[in-house]
Structure formats: C-alpha cells, structure tokens
C-alpha cells in the first residue's frame, strides 16, 4: 500500500498493462487458433516487440530530457551500441552454420580474409558477457561523455549538437569495414539465442514478453527515481540550474547520473530490439533516428512517464501503417504531427490531458466554493478576500 501510494496509481496501472500484455499476447499467439478473433498473428508479435523496445528508448530519453532538461539528440547511439553487443553474441552463436562454415569467425570476417577473431570479439560467445556489455558499453560511453560535457558546463543547444555529433561519428566509424563490426551490412543472419531458434514462434513470444518486462522495470525505475528527492532535484536542475548550484548541489553529477542511467536503459532496449528485427547495422546510429525518439517523447508528453511510452507506441505503429500504405508521405506525416503537437499540444498528448484534468478539477472546486459563498446569509458582514477559504484547500 505504501509503495502504491509512493509511485502513484498511474505507474502501477502502466506496469500492470505491460505485464498483462507480456502474458496475454504470447498466449493468444501460441494457443488461440488462427481464425479466432483475438488471435495475434505471428508477424505482429515481433512488430509489437519492436514498438515496446522503442517505448523503452523513449522512456530513457525522457528521463534526461523531460526530467532534467537535457535534450539529447544522440540517444540512438546508446540504443545501437546495446544492439551491437547483442548482435555480436548472436553472431558468435551462429558457429559453423554460417555461409562459409567457419566455426569461430563470423561470415563477414571470412569474407574480409581476416585470420583470427579481433580482441574485442572475445567473450561474446558467452551470454552473460554480452549482457554485461549491453549495460556497460553504453553506460561507460555516456559516463565519460557526460563527465566532460557536464563538468565543462556545456548546456542547451550546444549539448544537443555534440550529442548529435557523437552519434554521427559512431555512424561513420561503424560504416568502416576495418572497425570489425560488419561495416555497411552490420550483423545479421542470426540463428539462435540461448539455444532457442530465433525464428521460432515461442522464441519471438518470449522476446516480446521480455521486452514488456524490461519496459515495466524501466517504468518502475523512472517512477521511483523521479518520486525521490533526487527526482525533485532533477526538476530543480531543469528549472533553475544555477540556483541548485548556489544552494550547494552539483548539477553536473545529477545530470551525469540521469544520463548514464538513461544510456543503460537505451542499451537494454537496443539489445532486446536486435533479436526481434534480426539485424543491426550502422543505420541505427543515423542522427534522424535519434531525432525521431525526441519526437516520440514530445508527442506523448515529456516528463510524464506515460507520455513517452504512449508517444513511441503511437508514432511507431503509425509509421508502420503509413510506410506500408503511402511510403512517400511518411516523413510529411511525421513532420506535420510534430508541428501540430508543438503548436497545439506543447505538453504532448498525456501532458495536455493531465493539465486539462487538473484545471477542470480546480475549476470545479472553485465553483463549489463560490456556491457556498453565495449561499451564505446576506446579513453576514462583508469578508476580506483573504478571509475566504482558498480554493486550493
């Protein structure tokens, strides 16, 4: 009960919905007959799983943007790094089943005439090591990047530009064959994960469920952090950074904490994304991807926890729809949606609903108070405005 009150009903509702989806959608896919109205077709499950990964990425971005006010235009980089770490594990799992049949070297290395495995590919045949790297690589990069950027007090648009430059630099680096990550083609042709065939319906269902659980944990984490005193401090840094400094806090550490945690969440999202889409290539580092994440959070409503999740699910699914129906128009739709939300719903969908709800409740209270005021006997002495009950009480 205390925990329920601590995190607020909305966070728990979202977690409950996610956990229900994690159970019900795989069940419906695997057990219901194909002609049942509630059956979820097999090609939809990984698609939904992909959206859930996007939602986790949007939630991660919102932790730094919505709550601390750092507009990162490079969160796709952390997502892609997590994805690459998982991709390397999946490549090593292929073993001798590759086109060239080399038991150790992935196909692209054989193709490039590499004699042996580069040092940074060692260990990725173990799942635990890959899982560690999924967390460590994006986390460490964010920590080092944030350490220099925040301590040098780089803020605002300058910070956004260098995050964009970061992801662009990684894009160029990963395009190179010499980097040892498959160059332009990236990593693909995965066979199995933890011994289970990656194409199998059960594996897909399990990956979808895992993504939902990861998102639920992310929601709980962000909920707990933002409800703590640190959460207030994050808001304080966002609103008046210099004030926090003059009362003795070090905003650079608050930002560093949020940025690192957020990068780790983005890395996990990327790691769950890769086995479901079956490929990771340098395109994931493209700056436009990172900007799309910002659009998701903005449309859903930043700083609301629910908002980025809703925004990502909504925009990503409409992207699937529009790119199938009218592929040439998708970018116009996305741009139009962003302009519309910025102009007419600056708080995003969830933020606007919240604000409207709060305003409506306050008006209701005020009108009730006014009714009580007029209902008083006219003989009563005139009261000074300050003596009237305040509507907030």
Binding site for other proteins (CB under 8 A): 225, 228-230, 232-233, 235-236, 238-240, 242-250, 253-254, 257, 390, 392
Shortest Å distance, C-beta 382 to other proteins: 21
The answer to whether residues 193 and 275 touch, using CB atoms and an 8 Å cutoff, is yes
Length of the chain: 393
The answer to whether residues 20 and 214 touch, using CB atoms and an 8 Å cutoff, is no
Cβ-based burial of 272 (10 A; exposed 0-12, middle 13-18, buried ≥19): buried
In angstroms, the Cα distances linking 161 to 149, 251, 302 are: 12, 20, 20
Shorter beta-carbon distance to other proteins: residue 215 or 261: 261
The answer to whether residues 49 and 272 touch, using CB atoms and an 8 Å cutoff, is yes
Which residue reads 């160029």 in tokens?
172
CA distance 9 to 5: 7
Shorter beta-carbon distance to other proteins: residue 160 or 244: 244
Shorter beta-carbon distance to other proteins: residue 153 or 372: 153
Shorter beta-carbon distance to other proteins: residue 382 or 389: 389
Shortest Å distance, C-beta 167 to other proteins: 26
Closest CA to 298 of 345, 335, 354, 239: 345
Shortest Å distance, C-beta 299 to other proteins: 21
Shorter beta-carbon distance to other proteins: residue 196 or 253: 253
CA distance 5 to 227: 11
Shortest Å distance, C-beta 354 to other proteins: 13
Count CB-CB contacts under 10 A for residue 23. 11
Shortest Å distance, C-beta 218 to other proteins: 16
Three-state DSSP at 193 gives strand
Shortest Å distance, C-beta 248 to other proteins: 4
Shorter beta-carbon distance to other proteins: residue 127 or 253: 253
Shorter beta-carbon distance to other proteins: residue 362 or 367: 362
- How many alpha carbons lie under 13 Å from residue 99 in its C-beta half-sphere? 7
Shortest Å distance, C-beta 18 to other proteins: 24
- How many alpha carbons lie under 13 Å from residue 98 in its C-beta half-sphere? 21
**Buried-state track 123-142, b at ≥16 Cβ within 10 A, e below 16:** ebbeeebbeebbbbbbbebb
Shortest Å distance, C-beta 225 to other proteins: 7
Helix axes 44-65, 287-300, angle to 10 degrees: 80
Shortest Å distance, C-beta 362 to other proteins: 11
Shorter beta-carbon distance to other proteins: residue 265 or 313: 265
Three-state DSSP at 187 gives strand
Shorter beta-carbon distance to other proteins: residue 233 or 291: 233
Three-state DSSP at 280 gives strand
Region for residue 303 given its phi and psi (left: phi exceeds 0; alpha: psi -120 to 50; beta: otherwise) = left
């Amino acid at each position: 009960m205390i925990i329920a009150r601590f995190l607020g009903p909305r966070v728990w509702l979202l977690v409950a919905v996610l956990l229900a989806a994690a159970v019900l959608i795989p069940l419906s896919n695997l057990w219901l007959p194909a002609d049942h109205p509630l059956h979820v077709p097999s090609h939809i499950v990984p698609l939904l799983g992909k959206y859930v990964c996007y939602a986790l990425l949007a939630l991660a971005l919102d932790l730094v943007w919505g709550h601390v006010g750092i507009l990162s235009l490079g969160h796709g980089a952390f997502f892609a790094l997590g994805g690459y770490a998982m991709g390397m594990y999946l490549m090593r799992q292929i073993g001798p089943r590759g086109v060239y049949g080399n038991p150790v070297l992935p196909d692209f290395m054989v193709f490039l005439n590499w004699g042996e495995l580069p040092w940074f590919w060692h260990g990725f045949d173990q799942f635990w090591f890959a899982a560690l790297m999924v967390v460590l690589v994006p986390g460490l990069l964010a920590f080092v990047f944030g350490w220099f950027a925040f301590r040098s007090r780089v803020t605002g648009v300058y910070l956004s530009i260098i995050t964009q430059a970061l992801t662009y630099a990684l894009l160029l680096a990963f395009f190179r064959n010499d980097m040892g990550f498959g160059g332009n083609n990236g990593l693909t042709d995965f066979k199995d994960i933890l011994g289970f065939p990656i194409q199998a319906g059960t594996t897909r269902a399990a990956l979808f469920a895992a993504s939902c659980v990861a998102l639920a944990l992310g929601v709980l984490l962000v909920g707990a952090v933002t409800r703590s005193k640190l959460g207030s401090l994050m808001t304080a840094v966002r609103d008046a950074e210099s004030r926090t400094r003059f009362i003795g806090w070090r905003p650079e550490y608050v930002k560093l904490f949020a940025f690192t945690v957020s990068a780790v969440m983005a890395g996990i999202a990327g790691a769950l994304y890769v086995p479901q889409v079956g490929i990771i290539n340098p395109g994931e580092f493209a700056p436009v991807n990172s900007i799309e994440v910002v659009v998701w959070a903005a449309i859903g409503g930043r700083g609301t926890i629910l908002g980025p999740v809703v925004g990502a699910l909504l925009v990503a699914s409409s992207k699937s729809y529009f790119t199938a129906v009218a592929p040439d128009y998708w970018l116009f739709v996305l741009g139009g949606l962003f302009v519309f939300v910025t102009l007419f719903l600056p708080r995003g969908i969830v933020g606007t609903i919240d604000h409207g709800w709060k305003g409506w409740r306050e008006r209701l209270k005020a009108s009730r108070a006014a009714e009580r005021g007029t209902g008083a006997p006219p003989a009563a002495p005139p009261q000074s405005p300050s003596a009237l009950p305040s509507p907030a009480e």
